[in-house]
Amino acid sequence: MTLTGTGQTILQEISLGLNKLKAAQVDRLLVEIKTAKRIFCIGAGRSRIMLGAFCMRLNHLGIEAYVAGNIPCPPALKGDLIIAASGSGTTPSVISVLRRVKETGVRIAVVTASSVRDLAEIADLVVDIEAPNGLINKDNQESPQLMRTLFEQILFILEEALIAVLSENIPVEEIVTRHTNLE
């Protein structure tokens, strides 16, 4: 397959995955974000990278947001929302942290591609992303993408769509004032 053909296949997989998102889950996540005092994002590996980009954009919108484990990161408290992303749904470090902070009264939203519900059991809200793990998708079609790449791509596009909706009534000039001037 050519590079362009591979790219088209990847775009097609992302589009199919986005179309399978459950509107009610995404709408509920949007409400949770709008009503939270602060947002904390937690994940491992590439999921954490996608969440870091999301936190940056939330801050650009004037929403106080942190990536768990970064410096600075204040404690999560009642009224805050934690958004966890784990394609496998079983990331031990994420589960451990969420179990510990759950008793503080924080709300927890989990974005996952897994039917394994280790993280979902802790969550107040689950957003399911249909994204197969590996080189064969669930329809037994070959995929050019490795491991949880499709999950991470759909997670990123979902986050960007959430930011687009959240920013609808914020003037661009205001958003630009929150962009770093240290680069």
Write down the catalytic residue from 152, 159, 168, 174.
Answer: 152
160 is catalytic: no
C-alpha torsion sign, points 129, 109, 62, 72:
negative
- 56 φ/ψ angles, rounded to the nearest 5 degrees: -60, -45
Q: What are the residues facing 142 on neighbouring strands?
A: 136
In whole angstroms, give the CA distance from residue 12 to residue 93: 32
| 5, 83, 124, 129 from 39: Cα distances, Å | 38, 7, 14, 21
C-alpha torsion sign, points 103, 104, 107, 110:
negative
In whole angstroms, give the CA distance from residue 143 to residue 141: 6
Residue 64 neighbours by CB distance under 10 Å: 14
Q: Which of 35, 10, 23 is nearest to 154 (CA)?
A: 10
Active site residues: 152
